[in-house]
Amino acid sequence: MNAHASVGQYRTLYGPDDAPTPHITVRGLSKTFQGVVIYDNFNLDIPRGRFTSVFGPNGCGKSTLINLIAGLIPVDRGEVLFGGKTLAQTRIGYVFQNYREALFPWMTAFANVEYALTLRKVPAKQAKERVNALVERLGVKIDLTRYPYEMSGGQQQLVSIMRALVVEPEVLFLDEPFSALDYEMTLFMRDQLQRVFEETGTTMVLVSHDLEEAVYLADYVLLLSRRPAKIADFPLVPMARPRHPSTLSDPDFVELKGRCLETFQREVRKS
């Protein structure tokens, strides 16, 4: 059907990429919840310094995958390495879907971001400098002296992303980070995230239930099958960055999205 280089490997059928190296290697991953097999001997390579979107049928195990990789839930069997290092040797960031519960309501936005460094025992003066440097680097224009309840959902989610980024993670995981936002804010946040990605070159792994978003943001789209989840496809998204709203009507984009949709529908139809 396609040109998989090997099991678990992203492929570059749609065009050239400057040969990214794998950053996250998942080998022999197995996970069962109450007798339901979610992953059975699953293998995956996620490329370094690239944006990977994860898309697949409802309940197929998208969140479980990044939670297993990020160590939020234990694996039954298998190994996950980050450029050969263990999770404990790797700085990761995680942005949750529910921004309302993610920030501390009694802390200002600035203090919320700074807290990620305080936890890591970074001295206060240095921590403040690092938050300020990040704000400047990202060109964030929101008032960080405000409390979460004084901010819009998008602003709060941007603060969550900053809190994840301030520790300079080697990998940033995002699980449907924009799904609670309205459409206008979602469009804005996609572009903010894209800017952060281009600015930092951090390996990013985004779970999205929105195929357009998954393709728009990604260098690679990991399409999962129904459970036990397998890689249904893992195509390269060849469109130049930065992507613009006009990218959505680019024939290459439309074609790739169509192919992903076909794969998805084929997977959903399988019983």
The residues of the shown chain that bind ligand ATP, judged by CB under 6 A, are: 33-34, 38, 58-64, 209
**Residue 166 interacting entry, from ligand ATP, Mg ion, none, C-beta within 5 to 8 Å by type:** none
Task: Tell me the closest approach of the beta carbon of residue 134 to ligand ATP, in angstroms.
Answer: 29
3-state secondary structure of 251: helix
Residue 59 or 123: which CB sits closer to Mg ion? 59
Q: How far is the CB of 177 from Mg ion (least distance, A)?
A: 12
The minimum distance between CB 64 and ligand ATP, in angstroms, equals 3
Residue 208: contacted member of ligand ATP, Mg ion, none (CB under 5 to 8 Å, by partner type): none
63 binds Mg ion (CB under 5 A): yes
Contacted entry of ligand ATP, Mg ion, none for residue 245, CB cut-off 5 to 8 Å set by kind: none
Q: 196 vs 229, which CB is nearer to Mg ion?
A: 229
Minimum Å gap between C-beta 59 and Mg ion is: 8
> SS in 3 state form for the chain?
CCCCCCCCCCECCCCCCCCCCEEEEEEEEEEEECCEEEEEEEEEEEECCCEEEEECCCCCCHHHHHHHHCCCCCCCEEEEEECCECHHHCCEEEECCCHHHHCCCCCCHHHHHHHHHHHCCCCHHHHHHHHHHHHHHHCCCCCCCCCHHHCCHHHHHHHHHHHHHCCCCCEEEEECCCCCCCHHHHHHHHHHHHHHHHHHCCEEEEECCCHHHHHHHCCEEEEECCCCCCEEECEECCCCCCCCHHHHHCHHHHHHHHHHHHHHHHHHHCC
Q: Of ligand ATP, Mg ion, none, which one sits near residue 34, judging by CB under 5 to 8 A according to partner kind?
A: ligand ATP
Options 55-63, 75-83, 216-224, 238-246: segment touching Mg ion (CB under 5 A): 55-63
- CA pair distance 142, 159, nearest whole angstrom: 9
| CB-nearer residue toward ligand ATP: 165 or 206 | 206
**Of 80 and 229, which CB lies nearer to Mg ion in the complex structure?**
229
Shortest distance in whole angstroms from residue 99 CB to ligand ATP: 16
To the nearest whole angstrom, how small is the minimum distance from the Cβ of residue 205 to ligand ATP?
13
For residue 240, give the DSSP letter.
Answer: -
Of 155 and 208, CB closest to ligand ATP: 208
